[in-house]
Chain A
Amino acid sequence: MRPLRDLSIRVKLTGSLVAVVSIVLLLSTVAGLIEQHRSAKVAMVAQFTVLAVTLGEASSSTILFDDRQTCAEVLASARLEPKVVFVQIFDGEGNRFASYKADQSVSDELPLNHEQDQVLFKGEFLHVSQPIELQEIPVGRIYLRASIKDLYKNTRHKIFLATLSLLICLFIAILLGSLLQREIARPILELAAATKKVSGEGDFSARVHSNAGDEIGVLCNGFNTMLDQIQQRDRELEKHRTHLEELVRERTSRLEAQTQELTDSNAQLERSNQELDDFAYIVSHDLKEPLRGISRYSSFIAEDYAGKLDEAGHEKLETLQRLCLRQENLIDSLLHYSRVGRAELAIAPTDLNDVIEQVLDMMHITLEEQGIEVRVPRQLPTVACDSVRIVEVFRNLITNAVKYNDKAEKWIEIGFQQHGECGGNDLTPTGFVFYVRDNGIGIREKHQESVFRIFKRLHARDKYGGGTGAGLTFVKKIVERHGGKIWLESTYGEGTTFYFTLEKGIVA
């Protein structure tokens, strides 16, 4: 059925028309032929019954007067009807009396009981058996056999003619059908072509021309209207799109300008940073020189003039020396800071477990003294970083954790979180977030921003083991040099966690 469904509507229309016409014609022709054949048979029956009766009556006198020869002469008049092939007369006693044969070869066998009135089509013949009666006297019977070849020949001829006319009608039907279907199918085909054009090429300017007022006309008009609307909408969309593009272009250019500005200011910033670093280096380097002189000379005074100075002099000299040391520390820190900002990083794959081991090794005396438990919940990954700097990061963080802890049972936890492991803070999507957690004193929220500032100390100078207050500044600088970020979470009095990332170059 599939191929039939896929046929063109033109073929379908013509085909259905031709099919209907041919079926109707065929049925009516067949019915007509059957009826004609039947009525021809009825007519033939009537004709030959009458002929038999007439012949019977005509030959009645010959039977009564027992005149076979005359009877045969009477029967011979049947030759005028060429269809009659055999006539047999029976006398009153049922004996064969006289007969007529159209041809010597005709059989005189009777296919029916000649003593009964009968009309019968059998074989190629019509058989008629009729009584002969004159007034009340039964005279005899007549049997007549007529050929129905002509009947069948006629019927065959009629069938031939009917077939011929059927073919002619079919031809006319095909002709008319193709003419009619053109009227119906043309708009549909146009519609199909237009649809193909619209859906295939996206050409919405296609239109279908139909001035018919029927359903197809409505369909075509609807299609056209639809396309109009689509085109209208398209135009509007196009307008909006153009507008949008302009908007985007404008925004983009503005953004580009801003980016340029930012880049410029960034470069400027970097330059000034660099200058600052250079400045810090130069200043600290140059500052150290006189400081070293002051320190040396104060030592000289303390050694050479020890006896000449009184208690108060000694005290002041000590203070001077302490301040010198402190100044030196500060300058060292500044120098270090500027170095961190200046020196190139030696990035290489580094196993952080080694780093931690190294740090703990360096600090093991302090850790043992303080009785601090260091926890590393799982093996740390290998990342690309400058191992020396990262040692400094961990050392500073662990030192702070050790330093600012007043608990009886102190612990430090070093670990990392990977993408998907933590609840989605500032987590970089692909990288690790390392942390150093302690149960120390914690940092008040208002101070959480300023802890990274250089030389910023939250406590009295000598409290919690002192220090320059530059450690976290170094850490931040190193992390940022790696492209990472550092932040902290803390609850005052319960502990602090420092998080940092080393975004660049994650190896494992």
Chain B
Amino acid sequence: MSTFIGMPAARGTGDLQGDRPFPQAAHDALADQQLRRNLGYATATIRTKRAQVVAEVEDWEQLREAGRQIKAHVMARLPELLEQLEEQVTARGGTVHWARDSTEANRIVADLVKATGSDEVIKVKSMATQEIGLNEYLAAQGIAAFETDLAELIVQLGHDKPSHILVPAIHKNRTEIRDIFLAEMAGVRPDLTDEPAELAEAARMHLRAKFLTAKVAISGANFAIADTGTLGVVESEGNGRMCLTLPDTLITVMGIEKVLPTWRDLEVFLQLLPRSSTGERMNPYTSTWSGVTPGDGPSTFHLVLLDNGRTSALADEVGRAALHCIRCSACLNVCPVYERTGGHAYGSVYPGPIGAVLSPLLTGMTGGHDAPNDSLPYASSLCGACFDACPVKIDIPAMLVRLRTEHVDLAGPKTAEARSMKAMRWMMSSPRRFALAGRLSRLGRFAVRRGKPIVPLPPPLNGWTQSRDVPVPQGQTFRDWWLDNHGDAR
């Protein structure tokens, strides 16, 4: 290829799309009473904690604005920053790899693991490696990947899927977690109770030997500082520290949008991220490292920079800001839709409000009626709570509306929606037709009784009345009322 013009859209691949549209998946999730109780309890807990620790920061709004500006600055300078990062990481003894998509990233990581001679790896929780389906790929290559984050461990042991960015097992309560441990965790105490402290202790015992013997670790990164080549992982349990410190080889997979210009920028994100995600003033552990340090930690460090649809999102001037996301999950916890359906209904590894914009931006949309990611921009009431909670001020509602527009444009003029909108435009663009339609609507009074249509509405209109009462049209239109009362004041 000699020119960049006309380069095909580089769509993201991997676990970014479910196998059915959101309304179908949500329908099943809503019927699960236990799931709704678990989610309601957990999201209410975190909302309260977050509100408390955010309220005590008097310059919170200024920090949010700085976070937004830094991220926008990064997107505009991304090529130079990535080149600088590569140069700095390399100068400090690391090796940088580039991956166009999930397939290429998986192959790079598997080859690096094989080169060490190890057939197992320990992992720090990472959205990037979830997105590319790394564990499944490694398993197919004969490499066992052990998740070490407690929630990831619960998901892995329970043969389940993550349902939240920060707490992948948020859909499980303590008793369900205890039952998974009893059934799946070798050597666990048979009298294990569902006390959270006991469950945490069980996880500690279970992973201890693994940490002390592992040769290779795989992590994600919360940020990378371009001018110093410094990578950072923000965590709670110490499993991150174990993975970043004990093995000989460390492989970090990171989306290209995670780069920050300078070390100083950390002062903003180390304030925004912990308070927004776990509702703490600071998370228990944050580790930063620059390349390799002789005698301290891994002797080999690889950084895999991942595109996988990010450049496609970057090309969208409105959607671009979705790449500002720092994966705090505050938008999930405040979302009335997420709180009721949980994360699985979204299909993608990125659920909730940010997932509803990020997933279709990364994979692209088809315009199809049943395409899972085409349905995500509609999985919102547009209430705006996500925008208010976002620590980097991503205007998710505006993006959802923009993506809905794009979906309608892609779907073309033949859909029922497009036809009815066209009819509506015809009716509403003439005062005479509009007045006539208003009078005709009064006939609807005779078709509705006690909120239900007397005659079942034909598809697709019955989709609306399945869960709603039909409002009974008024006996008089506004125009008629106006004429009667103010007819002389025209």
A interacts with B: no
Give the interface of B toward A (CB within 8 A). none
Give the interface of A toward B (CB within 8 A). none
